[in-house]
A and B are shown apart, each in its own frame.
Chain A
Amino acid sequence: MRLLLAFAAAAILPAADPNCPRYPAAARTETQESIDLDREFQALSKGPRIRSAAASIRAAEARGIIDQLLFGKMAADGVAPAPRTTDTEFLRRIYLDLTGRIPTPEQAERFLNSSVENNREALVDELLASPAYADQFALFFNNKLKITRAHESVSTPGRDVFYAFLRDMVASDRSYDAWVRELLTAAGEVDTVPGTQFFTRWMDVAGPIQDSWDDITDKITTTFLGYKTECVSCHNGRAHLEKINLHLTTRTRREFWEMSAFLSRMAYVRWSDDPIGFRPRIILVDRDYGTYSGSVPPTNPGNRPARLGAVVTPRYFTSDAEPRSGEWRRDLADMVTRDRQFAKATVNHFWDYFFGHGIVDPPDAWDLNRVDPKMALPPDWPTQNSYPELLERLADSFAANQFRLRPLIRQIVLSQAYQLSARYEGQWRPGYVKYFARHETRRLSAEQLYDSMITATQTEQPMSLGSTGRVVRYANQLPDPTEPVTDFRVIDFLNALGRGNWLTIDRSSEPTILGLLYQMNDGQNVNRSLGASNANVGIRNRVHEVDAMGLSDEETIQRLFLATLTRRATDAEMALVLERRSGPRYQWLSDLQWALLNKLDFTFNY
Chain B
Amino acid sequence: MTNSIHKTCGGHAPYTRRHFLFGAASAGLLSVHADAEITTSRPAVSLRKTARACIFVNLNGGASHLDTFDPKDGPWNPAGVALDQHPGGLVLSKLLFPKLSTLTGELLVLRSCASWEAAHERGQFYMQTAHTQNPALAGETPHIGAVIGHEKGAGNVMPPFLSFNQTNLQGATFLGGSYMPMMPVANRAGITTLTHPFFGAQSEQRFEERFRLLQDLDAPIRANPYNEIMGAYAGYYARAKSMMYNAAVDAIFKFTVDDENRYGATTLGRSLIVARNAIRANNGTVFINATQGGWDTHADQFNRGVATQNYTLSRDLDLAAGSLIEDLRASGDLAHTLVVIMGEFGRTPGPLNSRGGRDHYRPVMSVALAGGGVRGGRTIGITDSTGAAITSPQWKGDRPIYPEDITATIYSALGIDWTKGINDTPSYRRFYYINGAVEGRYTPVEEVFG
Interface residues of A (CB under 8 A from B): 2-3, 5-7, 9-10, 13, 15-17, 19-24, 26-27, 29-33, 36, 239-240, 242-244, 299, 303, 422-423, 440-443, 504-505, 510-514, 516-518, 520-523, 526-527, 530, 572-573, 576-577, 580, 591-592, 594-596, 598-601, 603-604, 606
Contact = CB atoms under 8 A, between A and B. Distances in A.
B194 A517 contact: yes
A580 B210 CA distance: 10
A33 B426 contact: yes
9 contacts: A9-B21, A10-B363, A504-B167, A513-B243, A514-B184, A520-B196, A521-B194, A522-B193, A600-B221
B23 A239 contact: yes
In the complex, the 5 A-B pairs of residues with the closest C-beta atoms, listed nearest first = A21-B119, A17-B118, A516-B240, A17-B119, A517-B193
A530 B20 CA distance: 61
A115 to B, nearest CB: 30
Contacts of A576: 213, 216-217
B119 A19 contact: yes
Contacts of A592: 213
A591 B136 contact: no
Given A6-B17, A243-B136, A599-B214, A520 B360 contact: no
Contacts of B198: 523, 526-527, 530
A576 B215 CA distance: 11
B407 to A, nearest CB: 18
Contacts of B220: 572
A243 B5 contact: yes
A595 B214 contact: yes
A27 B232 contact: no
Contacts of B177: 511
A17 B14 contact: no
B348 A512 contact: no
A580 B215 CA distance: 13
Contacts of A31: 135-136, 138-139
B360 A15 contact: yes
B403 to A, nearest CB: 14
Interface stretch (B68-76, B120-128, B272-280): B120-128
Contacts of B30: 2, 5
Contacts of B184: 514
Contacts of B21: 9, 13
Nearest to A299: B354
A513 B210 contact: no
Interface string B235-252: 111011101100000000
Given A19-B20, A580-B209, A606-B226, 5 more contacts: A27-B133, A27-B135, A30-B136, A422-B227, A600-B234
Contact of A32 (B191, B226, B229, B427): B427
Contacts of B117: 17, 19
A299 B356 CA distance: 13
A279 B163 CA distance: 32
A600 B231 CA distance: 9
Interface residues of B, number: 84
Nearest to B141: A27
Contact of A303 (B15, B119, B137, B399): B119
A489 B219 CA distance: 31
A523 B235 CA distance: 23
A229 to B, nearest CB: 14
A514 B136 contact: no
A441 B230 contact: yes
A575 B122 CA distance: 57
B222 to A, nearest CB: 7
Contacts of B239: 513, 516
B135 A603 contact: no
A291 B135 CA distance: 32
A514 B183 contact: yes
A591 B216 CA distance: 13
B218 interface: yes
Contacts of B359: 15
B362 interface: yes
B182 interface: yes
Contacts of A240: 20
A352 B216 CA distance: 34
A2 B120 CA distance: 26
Interface string B277-309: 000000000000000000000000000000000
A595 B427 CA distance: 39
Nearest to A496: B193
A521 B203 CA distance: 11
Contacts of B244: 517, 521
B404 interface: no
A23 B140 CA distance: 15
A521 B195 contact: yes
A513 B159 contact: yes
Contact of A511 (B216, B233, B362): B233
Interface string B175-197: 00100101110000001111110
A441 B140 contact: no
Nearest to B216: A576
A22 B232 CA distance: 30
A598 B361 CA distance: 50
Contacts of A13: 21, 362
A240 B6 CA distance: 11
Contact of B229 (A10, A441, A513, A527): A441
Contact of A10 (B24, B182, B362): B362
A442 B119 contact: no
B168 A24 contact: yes
A33 B21 CA distance: 28
B227 A441 contact: yes
Given A521-B194, A576-B217, A242 B236 contact: no
Nearest to B182: A513
A23 B139 contact: no
